């Protein structure tokens, strides 16, 4: 249940914000950097779309949302805001990015973007089917529907301009890694892992190219995090000492190398577009291996319950959370805390600023 980064899905959106900041121009109060933020992905970016579909992959119950502005569980897999919220906020667009489904979207909501992300999904259609969630291809169809609503609202020319100037983020793949390696019928040798990583990259590439065909011109593609170092993977695969799961990280790293090359290839091929690969593997791994450097105390367990396995329905009112989530990198056994999401967004912005200078 972790996007290309338990969270860390972070995007080129913020990069443009930093350029404004570098110039000494105030970011908040000076108008939005981009007209809209549009997200496709999994639980790291899902603000509640899964609340509207028949699936058990949900988080619309306590203790999720305990630190959200309303102190209510919205369907975000965190104690508070998630990465997509921070992206929209830092770009001056809005403080939180709403779910496309189940939200009474106002005209302003439509004009400034939404998230189509669905917790539990992946680039492999089988992953979404297994979890009964929204496949990436369906999210693309939902975006096309959204685009039509935008045209009805402001006209074809203005809608096309908004889409072209907006920042898109595609963030998924962690669920694919977990499901692939959990299935004993899959070829989990180095060759099998290499083949599957290439399959995931190609699936991601097709989604990005279809977004460009629908008018997108700036897309941040988020690489995978160190999936094997998530608390649940440590518990299930890491042995008695709960070490990071080697094969999960191997698959993530192979996929990231392929995706980086593909992002560069697509940018060269698709004239007038900018496809930027965002490496969040090293960002999250640094938090996990050196938590105290960023003011965290715990990086191998989640805040919810025992912290070793609870996530989704297992993280509930019977699994009391830790007293201070801000000291934890992970909220549950798969997803970052609000503070960890913020720290990672800030870090990625800094690391990728040079791509837009």
pLDDT at 10 over 70: no
Could you tell me the pLDDT band of residue 355, with boundaries at 50, 70 and 90?
A: low
| % of the chain beyond a pLDDT of 70 | 89
Q: Would you name the residues annotated as active-site residues?
A: 43, 332, 335
Q: What is the pLDDT of residues 143-172, one digit of tens each?
A: 999 999 999 999 999 999 999 999 999 999
Task: In whole angstroms, give the CA distance from residue 292 to residue 70.
Answer: 29
Q: What local confidence, expressed as pLDDT, does residue 96 receive? A: 96
Q: What is the pLDDT of residues 260-295, one digit of tens each?
A: 999 999 999 999 999 999 899 999 999 999 999 999
pTM for the model stands at: 0.90
Q: What is the pLDDT of residues 175-197, one digit of tens each?
A: 999 999 999 999 999 999 999 99
Q: In whole angstroms, what separates CA 341 from the centre of its chain?
A: 10
pLDDT at 339 over 60: yes
Q: What local confidence, expressed as pLDDT, does residue 87 receive? A: 85
What domains can you pick out in the chain, each with its CATH number? 12-60+68-226+247-281 (3.40.50)
Task: In whole angstroms, give the CA distance from residue 282 to residue 286.
Answer: 6
Task: In whole angstroms, give the CA distance from residue 90 to residue 100.
Answer: 20
Which of 80-89, 147-156, 321-330 has the least mean pLDDT?
A: 80-89
Alpha-carbon dihedral 224, 135, 336, 195, rounded to 10 degrees: -20
- The mean pLDDT value of the chain amounts to 90
Task: In whole angstroms, give the CA distance from residue 85 to residue 11.
Answer: 12
pLDDT at 99 over 50: yes
Q: What are phi and psi of 214, to 5 degrees?
A: -95, 5
pLDDT at 11 over 50: no
Could you tell me the pLDDT band of residue 3, with boundaries at 50, 70 and 90?
A: low
Which of 245-249, 315-319, 345-349 has the least mean pLDDT?
A: 345-349
Helix (H) or strand (E) holding 99: none
CA-based nearest residue to 260, from 278, 274, 272, 247: 278
Q: What local confidence, expressed as pLDDT, does residue 349 receive? A: 67
pLDDT at 346 over 50: yes
Q: What local confidence, expressed as pLDDT, does residue 32 receive? A: 81
Q: What local confidence, expressed as pLDDT, does residue 345 receive? A: 81
CA-based nearest residue to 125, from 139, 115, 114, 143: 139
Average pLDDT over residues 57-72: 97
Distances (CA, A) of 39 to 143, 182, 296: 9, 28, 28
Measured at the alpha carbon of residue 308, what is the angle toward residues 306 and 312, in degrees to the nearest 5? 85
């Amino acid at each position: 249940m972790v996007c290309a980064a338990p969270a860390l899905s972070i995007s080129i959106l913020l990069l443009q914000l930093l350029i404004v900041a570098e110039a000494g121009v105030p970011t908040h109060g000076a108008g939005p950097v981009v007209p809209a933020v549009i997200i496709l992905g999994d639980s790291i970016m899902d603000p509640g779309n899964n609340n509207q579909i028949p699936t058990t992959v949900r988080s619309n119950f306590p203790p999720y949302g305990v630190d959200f502005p309303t102190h209510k569980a919205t369907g975000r897999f965190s104690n508070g805001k998630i990465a997509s919220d921070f992206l929209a906020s830092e770009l001056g667009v809005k403080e939180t990015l709403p779910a496309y489904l189940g939200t009474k979207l106002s005209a302003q909501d439509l004009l400034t973007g939404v998230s189509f992300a669905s917790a539990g999904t992946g680039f492999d259609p089988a992953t979404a089917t297994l979890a009964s969630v929204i496949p990436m291809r369906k999210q693309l169809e939902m975006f096309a529907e959204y685009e039509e609503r935008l045209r009805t609202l402001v006209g074809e020319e203005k809608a096309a301009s908004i889409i072209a100037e907006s920042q898109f983020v595609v963030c998924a793949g962690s669920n694919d890694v977990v499901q692939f390696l959990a299935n004993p019928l899959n070829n989990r040798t180095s060759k099998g892992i290499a083949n599957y990583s290439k399959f995931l990259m190609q699936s991601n590439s097709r989604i990005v190219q279809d977004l460009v065909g629908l008018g997108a011109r700036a897309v941040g593609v988020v690489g995978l995090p160190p999936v094997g170092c998530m608390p649940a993977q440590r518990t299930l695969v890491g042995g008695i000492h709960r070490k990071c799961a080697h094969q999960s990280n191997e698959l993530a790293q192979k996929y990231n190398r392929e995706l980086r090359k593909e992002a560069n290839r697509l940018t060269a091929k698709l004239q007038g577009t900018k496809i930027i690969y965002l490496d969040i593997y090293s960002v999250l791994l640094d938090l996990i291996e050196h938590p105290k450097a960023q003011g965290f105390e715990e990086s191998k367990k989640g805040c919810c319950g025992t912290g070793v396995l609870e996530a989704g329905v297992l993280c509930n009112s019977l699994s009391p959370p830790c007293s201070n989530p801000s000291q934890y990198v992970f909220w549950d056994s798969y997803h970052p805390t609000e503070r960890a999401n913020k720290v990672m967004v800030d870090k990625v912005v800094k690391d990728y600023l040079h791509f837009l200078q």
